[in-house]
C-alpha cells in the first residue's frame, strides 16, 4: 500500500471513531439545566418561559386555564414533594439529567430528564420533562390532562 492510500485510510478510520465523541462534546446544556433548577425550585414561571420551546409554552398556557394545575415549583417535577436540591448534568445532545433531593441526596430523591430541542433561531430550549415514574409520564402528558375541561 502506497503512502497516499494509507494516509486516506488513517484519516477515514480516525474519523469513524473520533466523530461521535467530538460531536457529543459540543453539546453542554449544564447551564440551561442549572437555570431550570434554580427557577423551577423557586416556582418562577415567568423566569422559566424563555427557557421553554414555543409549543411547551402553548401547552402550559392551555393547562393554566384549569384551577387544578399545580404550582410551578412542583409542576416541572415528578412528585409533589418539594425538595430544595436540584442539580443538572448534560447526558447527550437531547437530554439533561435533573436530580432532585433533600440536602446530601437524602430521600425523597429522584431523577428526571429535560428534553432539549433546537430552535429555528439557533438556540436550544426545553421541550418536555420525562418524569421518574414511567415512560408515558411526561410534563406534556400532565399538561394535556389539565388542559381538558372537566
CATH number of domain containing 44: 3.10.450
Inside any domain, residue 35: yes
- What is the mean pLDDT of the segment spanning 37-60? 97
pLDDT in the model for residue 27: 76
- What is the mean pLDDT of the segment spanning 102-112? 95
More confident: 9 or 98? 98
Inside any domain, residue 4: no
Put simply, whether the predicted model's pTM sits higher than 0.85 gets the answer no
Lowest mean pLDDT among 24-28, 46-50, 72-76, 137-141: 24-28
Inside any domain, residue 14: no
- DSSP code per residue over the chain: --HHHHHHHHHHHHHHHHHHHHHHHT---HHHHHHHHHHHHHT-HHHHGGGB-HHHHHHHHHHTTSTTPPPHHHHTSSSS---SEEEEEE-SSSEEEEEEESGGGPSS-EEEEEEEEE-TTS-EEEEEEE-SS-TT-BHHHHHHHHHS--
**Model confidence band, residue 1 (pLDDT cutoffs 50, 70, 90):** very low
Inside any domain, residue 118: yes
Inside any domain, residue 16: no
1: cell is 500500500
Percent of the chain with pLDDT over 90: 74
Inside any domain, residue 11: no
- Name 143's bridge partners: none
Amino acid at each position: 500500500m502506497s503512502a497516499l492510500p494509507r494516509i486516506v485510510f488513517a484519516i477515514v478510520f480516525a474519523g469513524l471513531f473520533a466523530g461521535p465523541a467530538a460531536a457529543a462534546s459540543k453539546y453542554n446544556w449544564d447551564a440551561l439545566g442549572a437555570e431550570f433548577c434554580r427557577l423551577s425550585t423557586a416556582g418562577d414561571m415567568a423566569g422559566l418561559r424563555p427557557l421553554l420551546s414555543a409549543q411547551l409554552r402553548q401547552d402550559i398556557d392551555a393547562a393554566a386555564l384549569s384551577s387544578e394545575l399545580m404550582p410551578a415549583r412542583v409542576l416541572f417535577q415528578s412528585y409533589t414533594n418539594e425538595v430544595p436540591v436540584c442539580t443538572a448534568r448534560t447526558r447527550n445532545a437531547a437530554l439533561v439529567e435533573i436530580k432532585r433531593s433533600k440536602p446530601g441526596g437524602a430521600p425523597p430523591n429522584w431523577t428526571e430528564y429535560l428534553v432539549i430541542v433546537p430552535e429555528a433561531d439557533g438556540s436550544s430550549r426545553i421541550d418536555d420533562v420525562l418524569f421518574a415514574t414511567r415512560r408515558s409520564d411526561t410534563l406534556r402528558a400532565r399538561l394535556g390532562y389539565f388542559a381538558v375541561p372537566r
